[in-house]
Structure 1
Amino acid sequence: MRLFVGDDWAEDHHDIEVMDSSGRRLTRARLPEGVTGMGRLHAILGELAGEHADKIEVLVGIETDRGPWVRALITAGYTVLAVNPPQAARFRDRLGVSGAKSDPGDAHVLADMVRTHGHELRPVAGDSAQAEAVKVVTRTHKTLIWERTRHTQRLRHALRDYFPAALAAFDDLDAADTLELLSKAPTPAQAAKLTMAQISAALKRVRRRNIPAKAAAIHSALRADHLGQPEAVTAAYAASITALLAVLTTLNDQIKALQGQVEAHFGQHPAAEVILSQPGLGVVLGARVLAEFGDDPARYTSAKARKNYAGTSPITRASGKKKVALARYVHNDRLIDALLSQAFSTLRISPNAHAYYQRQRARGVGHNAALRQLANRLVGILHGCLKNGTRYDEATAWSHHAELATR
């Protein structure tokens, strides 16, 4: 016996509808978020199953794949199918063209979608608690890095508008020594009064090399003639960047602290050794790859399935006599970012990877496309290593391509 549940979720409640295999609505309800709502859902399904409770299979369609509610559904033994919201919207159009929409109506759409197309939907992966922990810390770590980049760009734009000498003096605006010196002297007049001793001390604290030459260059740049702003405008800009500098300093501290957490959680995962054996993957990048792929052994049935999820494999569009292969633009941004970073790093440390990249370039493929194809190949290698529990071996991983290159 099968029951199909559509779950339209909101922050504080869930609208559910339960169907049988024929599409007949058995019940609908609005449940509160949390333990009370989950208990009521179990009671509803148990009452509908009756004496067949031990043989019932429950499939739940919901437009999310994370959170305590989803975790509770999986723990209860239900098959949870994560539905992409655009997919649900298109399916809704099949059931009516009026454009009407409601939460109970969305629950009906999800239940019917799971009933008729459940075999085409991806179940929520059963990742381990260790993998989930790695995902939490790596995603936060990467988010903070993105935030630091955004705030650094804001700082750059502000300095360009009122203090261009700072851009000439400092190459790395989010570096600790730059933040320290700009905090001490946020205006051109104050910066011009910084002494060689003050600049050298800031460079020494972050262990810069060739301190005398760098300090002299900064000292000279801060005293050079540049266009500026009126005193009142300069003071306003100085107040603004002081706030930005404080945010960047905090972000740097938290990024460093979270990196330690990333390393600790990733190091405890049993797949860490295999992942770290891959070329171009260090602890942080390897942790991101593990976090976004997950560790459910049944999630990827083949290397092709893993490549498709990664977004590195091309998609084919064919119509009549026209057939083209295009890059996948719908993908996990965090995962593709990590994989392309790995591919770029691999060019310097793996002769076979570099040769593979050069062959793509020789065919007239651009740098980004060639890098994506290399990343696609590396995903296949990673899949084989994880499946067999073996470490990366340069000769084995590229043996097939080495044979092709010699023909």
Structure 2
Amino acid sequence: MLFVGDDWAEGHHDIEIMDAQGKKLCGTRLPEGVEGVRQLHALIADHIDGEADHVSIGIETDRGPWVTALVAAGYRVFAVNPRQTARFRERFALSGAKSDAADAHALADMVRTDSHQLRPVAGDSDLSEAIKLLARTHQTLIWDRQRQVARLRAQLRDFFPAALAAFGEDLATGEALDLLKRAPDPDTAAKLSRSDIMAALKRAGRKRLVDKRAERILAGLSSEQLRLPSLLQRAYATTVHSLVGVIAALVKQISTIEAELVKRLDRHPDAQIYLSQPGMGEIVSGRVLGEFGDDRTRYTGAKARKNYAGTSPVTIESGRRSTVNARRVRNTRLIDALMRQAMCALRSSPGARAYYDRQRARGVSHNAALRHVANRLVGILHGCLATRTTYDEATAWAHRVELAI
């Protein structure tokens, strides 16, 4: 058996190879890319004659071409959390000293002594990985849009509060972006007619309450407000025009990524199981499927899936003291999607609603009760995936709540 520690950086990898007794066989720095992988294969081949699965590698990431190449070669690859490496490193240097070579040594020794406690890189399908990438990009673009909208709102508040009165919080809608692009300052906006606003609403695809909305926008834009000096107002108008262009581009790309995400999700064999869960639409299903992955051997049971999701609590016991806390170290993208599912499930699932109400009756806060519901839904999802069945309300909740008939 060989044990390899791989401390990676953007342009290189610090490597240490040790044997089963913990003796260092070699240590070196390899370049990133094809040449680096080729040299790593040669180093390993110099020290072992057995199969590739007799080589265990510890590395602080679970994605990228380098990791993919290691898995494809047949090595046992373990994705180690950097916090685990930091704690393990303290066994060798209490002073806090740190170096890339020392980290490679710690990783090699960790997979030698504690591989049974580490998580191997999951064998997720390429389709699942593609869904995760698209779902993460989609969510990141939405966060970027929210930041840009907040900046736009701050600019309008400083020199054009009438626009906020006209559009409210809907600054990313089609009509708001259209009209602010044409009229980014109070003087230009005051010249807009009702027909201009109606045309913008139609271009944005509005079909209901168009007249009422047009009147509200017109009244807001034409309302009296304090004005800044002309030169300063033109400078603000330029910034608004730029922010509107950025937001419009983000809105378009979000729509493009969303369509691609839905297309890939429809091709996945687990899609119908995810979509059958209460509170899960296509976007949330894509996020949850991508973050959980589709490796059938990744989770030993429902508890392991709940722990990875971050919905299960953490118990801390010491002497006579015992506390149960929310899990803070977790996949933030996954817990965000699961909490959204739980919130929506309160409206679509009588069982989830009854379970939530029971937690609240015990004095549990709203967020904690919602997390309990999310935790229960993760367990239900795990059961559905394990048995290859879609969600059934009675089966999921009958043993916990008495459903109304």
TM above 0.5, yes or no, is yes
Structure 1 position 234, deviation (Å): 1.3
Given the alignment, which residue of 187, 195, 198 partners 1:197? 195
Equivalences for residues 353-392 of structure 1 within 5 A: 353-392=352-391
What is residue 148 of structure 2 aligned with on the other side?
A: 151
Q: TM-score, normalised by structure 2?
A: 0.97
Contact in 2 for aligned 1:347/1:354 (Cα 8 Å):
yes
Deviation sequence 1:179-210 (CA, Å, 0-9, x none): 00001100011111110000011112223211
Pairing 1:84–2:81 present: yes
Mapped to 1, the partners of 2:51 and 2:323 lie a distance apart of 50
Per-residue CA deviation, residues 28-73 of structure 1 (Å, 9 max, x unaligned), is 12111111111111111112113xx238611111111110000111
1:239 aligned partner, one-letter code: T
Aligned partners of 2:6 and 2:108 also within 8 Å: yes
Alignment-derived partner of residue 343 in structure 2: 344
2:333 aligns to what? 334
- Percentage of matched positions with identical amino acids: 57
Question: Residues 226-265 of structure 1: matches in 2 within 5 Å?
Answer: 226-265=225-264
Aligned position for 1:187:
185
Please give the alpha-carbon distance, in whole angstroms, between the structure 2 residues aligned to 1:55 and 1:192.
Answer: 73
Which residue of 1 is the match for residue 48 of structure 2? Answer: 49
Q: Distance in 2 between matches of 1:55 and 1:397?
A: 43
Q: Distance in 2 between matches of 1:101 and 1:220?
A: 64
Amino acid at match of 2:108: A
Matches of 1:17 and 1:357 in 2, distance apart? Answer: 51
Q: Any conservation in 2 of the 1:49–1:56 contact (CA below 8 Å)?
A: no
Query: 2:71 aligns to what?
Result: 74
- Give the letter aligned to residue 249 of structure 2: T
Q: Distance in 1 between matches of 2:96 and 2:329?
A: 26
Are the aligned partners of 1:59 and 1:114 in contact in 2 as well (CA < 8 Å)?
Answer: yes
Structure 2 unaligned spans of 5+: none
Distance across 2 between alignment mates of 1:269 and 1:151: 34
| Alignment check: 8 A CA contact 2:7 2:103 kept | yes
Does structure 1 retain, via aligned residues, the 8 Å contact 2:4–2:17? Answer: yes
**TM-score (structure 1 length as normaliser):** 0.96
Residue type at the aligned position of 1:397 = A
Instruction: Work out the number of aligned pairs and report it.
Output: 402
Aligned residue runs from structure 1 range 307-318, under 5 A: 307-318=306-317
Q: Contact 1:141 / 1:259 at 8 angstroms: preserved in 2?
A: yes
In structure 1, the partner of 2:22 is 23
Residue 60 of structure 1 is aligned with which of 54, 57, 77?
57
Partner of 2:138: 141
Q: CA deviation at 1:229?
A: 2.1
User: Does residue 215 of structure 2 align to residue 222 of structure 1?
Assistant: no
RMSD after superposition:
1.4
Per-residue CA deviations over 1:75-105 (Å, capped at 9, x if unaligned) read 1111111111122112112101233322222
1:3 touches 1:56 (CA, 8 Å); kept in 2?
Answer: no
* Structure 1, unaligned runs of 5 or more: none
Question: Which amino acid in the other structure matches residue 45 of structure 1?
Answer: I
